[in-house]
Amino acid sequence: MADSRWRPLRRLLHAWVRVRHREPAPEALGLDPELPTVYVLPRPALSDRLLLECLTERDGLPSAAVRRSKGDEAPPPLLALPDPRRRQRKPTLLRHLIERGEDVQLVPVSVFWGRAPGKRFGLWPLLAADDWRLTGRLRRLLAVLVNGRDLEVHLGAPLRLSELADGRDPALLERKAARLLRVHFRRVRERVLGPDLSHRRTLIAGVVASPEVQATIDKQAGGDEARRERLRRRAGRYGREIAASMSYPALRFLDGLLGRLWHRLYDGIDLRGIERVKALAGHHTLVYVPCHRSHIDYLLLSYVLYEQGLMPPHIAAGRNLDMPVIGPLLRRGGAFFLRRSFRGQPLYARVFDEYLHRLLSRGHSLEYFIEGGRSRSGRLLAPRPGMLAMTLGSFLRRPAAGRPLSFVPVYIGYERILEEASYRRELAGGAKRKESPLALLGVLGRLREPYGRVTVNVGEPLDLATFLDTHQPDWRAAIGEPRPTWRASAVSRLGETLARRINAAATLNPVNLVALGLLATPHRAIEAELLERQLALLAELKRPRPGDEGHPLPPGSPRDWIDHARALGLLDYRPHPLGDLVAADDHQAGRLAWYRNNVLHLYALAGLVAFAFRHQARHGRDALAALLAPGWPVLEHELSIEAPADFEAALDATLAQLAEAGLLIEEGQGWRRAEGLAEAEQLRMLGRLIRPTLERGYLLVAALLGEAPGHFDHDGLASHARQLAERLARLTGRDAPEFFDARLFDGLLESLEREGWLTVRDDRLHYEETLREAARRSRTLFDPALRHRLERIAARRIAARGASGEHAATPGD
């Protein structure tokens, strides 16, 4: 029978404690019912033992209750690892278990009192929460009493003794098993609590005293001892300006605070892919790289990770957020602050670089935004190299035996964001307003508005060593050299790969879908019935196929999605005797464009194919592939799309999907547009999704070909193409500011250079006849009115320079 000495305590514990987070689920543990189960605790603790007895009985797992009976030869159901610092005077339970020679499965169990997030927070819960300090009896009693309702339990994968034995001596086998279990417990503890948090002053002092920082000080001091001392003090100020001051009590406080905020702000948080992080946490250094759409991003991701039993990361935040009240709280929650530019500040740059290196080398997880700032247009911005370059440099400074470093791409999708008004104002040319506590109070006044749901999707992690093995096989020769010659190109490829993995993790929500459908109409108004059919088409094109992870679709019907967007104030629904109408005014359309741009890349190939049938009813299959293939890599780059392994195979699959939807009809060796009016309109709407991106590329190429090779430099062509796009936008009603976004034209030029369409000689852009020929073939895709406007503008430019005797070709040449 079970040990009756602790029965009253066990009953009290069973009535009092509540497990808020436990993993894995009992059915996922994979226990062999034919083998005896022995649970292993990292240290002897009566509270943990009694708790485990309660949990195993409740969940139908093999019992952890210690049973006492004469002649009982069964292995003990529970044991604790011996303290390796103490000399054992008698054989341990683990040694007895090994000497019995019976095969058993060892299940490691980690219990955290007060670490699991809960709704309550205050002085006593903060004091009693788990951390890296050893827990005495009095403090454990306090933890049970105060945090018994906020409990977290982690069960590890079973470890079979027979797989470890291999004819070993029992003493050696005991040491091996104990070592494996201690490694597991340490990794779980690091995953939940993070690496041990050093005192902030000690960390800053170590940064300032590092050889790298000292070398920079010596170089700037130039032998002047007084100046050297001033620079040393300045380095200390920089360290205090930068460094986080993360603490477990602050994390607990923020968890309670943010839990209340999300409950008021959102209808719910949908989380997908977190298992990918849990598989790496504890033995990989993790660098989270989410898309940056809102100030909410870093708070939301930290909250979600904490809720899932993972240590929140240290977060790189702009210095503009280090404001009174807010800055100190963010700093204690893990934020470290950086200036927007390091240019002309070599000592600051060195201090920041050394601080980042020390965080990574100690195994702390990081979070930063590779876009550099929030996306005002809603699309993923081109990655910036700064933080990625410093992370790569830190990785190369570590010895080859260092722990692996993995990037974790994260897509965050909103149905409404708090910054809608400010983004629209800034895209229209308004100045960015400075963050301040008063501005935060203004945001609090909008918390009662509806904001729908928010999605957090974890993409496919990227192991840095594996990435370098693929793209720079000789990288190990550069260990210890933070700035190898190939670093810039590797950072560029790394940023692009991460951006594509972020976008690959995107999923659709009702607002995205409604925006994709409604904004594909010429006047942002459509019959409700047609919009519902278009939303059903968009959903069907992204419905997961068998064996494909796909993109989960939002629940409900197209009509439900329209009603949801209407409830969020993003459109108007107008009943009409001849058929209800859905419309968006200028303000609503500007907001919807932001949400459309979040997921536009998901329909790039389908939109490209539909656009090809806009002015031509029929295309041969091979002719269509030849027409679309040259521009596809440029489209991939601008929209950060993961390239298909085989473009023609992906094209065939898309054509088949559109035929299945009734929009195209296969005809011999080609395809033709369906003749029905409704189907033709749906195909046109699908093609309009990608139209602005294609037209922007056509504008840039037309501007380039309108002059002789070598006429433009990079900045000159980007500026001219942007002015051309802005002019056409005003003349044709394309009032979306992102149509003439300067950064998009810079990205287009980079794509043309990478694909070999452009070469740079003496800072001038040169092109070959192949580009002119490709432009001539693709011009049939575009509206004749657009081509005519471009030719008229080019003709006026030629006439204005006629006296100089220069020759310029027209886009139609």
Confidence check: pLDDT of 665 > 90: yes
Confidence check: pLDDT of 119 > 50: no
50 or 18, which is more confident?
Answer: 50
Q: Which of 99-113, 158-172, 294-308 has the lowest mean pLDDT?
A: 158-172
| pLDDT the model gives residue 73 | 62
- How far, in Å, CA of 503 to CA of 392, rounded? 22
Confidence check: pLDDT of 124 > 50: no
Domain chopping of the chain, boundaries: 7-193, 257-341+365-504, 510-685, 688-804
Q: Which fold has domain 257-341+365-504?
A: Glycerol-3-phosphate (1)-acyltransferase (3.40.1130)
Cis (ω within 30 of 0) for the bond into 24? Answer: yes
Q: Which of 31-45, 291-305, 587-601 has the lowest mean pLDDT?
A: 31-45
Q: Which of 315-324, 433-442, 521-530 has the lowest mean pLDDT?
A: 433-442
Confidence check: pLDDT of 233 > 90: yes
Q: pLDDT class for 748, splitting at 50, 70, 90?
A: confident
Q: pLDDT class for 238, splitting at 50, 70, 90?
A: very high
The string of DSSP letters for 392-454 reads: HHHHHHS-TTSPPEEEEEEEEEESS-TTHHHHHHHHTTPPPPPP-HHHHHHHHTTTTS---EE
- How far, in Å, CA of 495 to CA of 382, rounded? 8
399 or 259, which is more confident?
Answer: 259
The tens digit of pLDDT for each residue in 405-414 reads 999 999 999 9
Q: Are 74 and 63 in contact (CB under 8 A)?
A: no
| pLDDT the model gives residue 725 | 79
- How far, in Å, CA of 748 to CA of 770, rounded? 17
Confidence check: pLDDT of 710 > 80: yes
- How far, in Å, CA of 592 to CA of 582, rounded? 13
- CB neighbour class for 810 (10 Å; exposed up to 12, middle 13-18, buried from 19): middle
- How far, in Å, CA of 727 to CA of 176, rounded? 73
Buried/exposed code over 50-80 (b: 16+ C-beta within 10 A; e: otherwise): bbbbbbbeeeebebbbeeeeeeeeebbbbbb
Which residues are bridge partners to 761 per DSSP? 764
**Number of separate helices (H) and strands (E) present in the chain:** 33, 22
| pLDDT the model gives residue 811 | 44
Whole-model pTM over 0.85: no
Would you mind telling me the total number of residues written for the chain in this entry? 813
Confidence check: pLDDT of 117 > 70: no
| pLDDT the model gives residue 198 | 61
The tens digit of pLDDT for each residue in 427-460 reads 766 667 776 666 666 666 677 788 999 999 999 9
Q: pLDDT class for 247, splitting at 50, 70, 90?
A: confident
Mean pLDDT of 362-372: 91
CA dihedral 512, 518, 524, 525 (to 10 degrees): -140
| pLDDT the model gives residue 216 | 92
| pLDDT the model gives residue 429 | 67
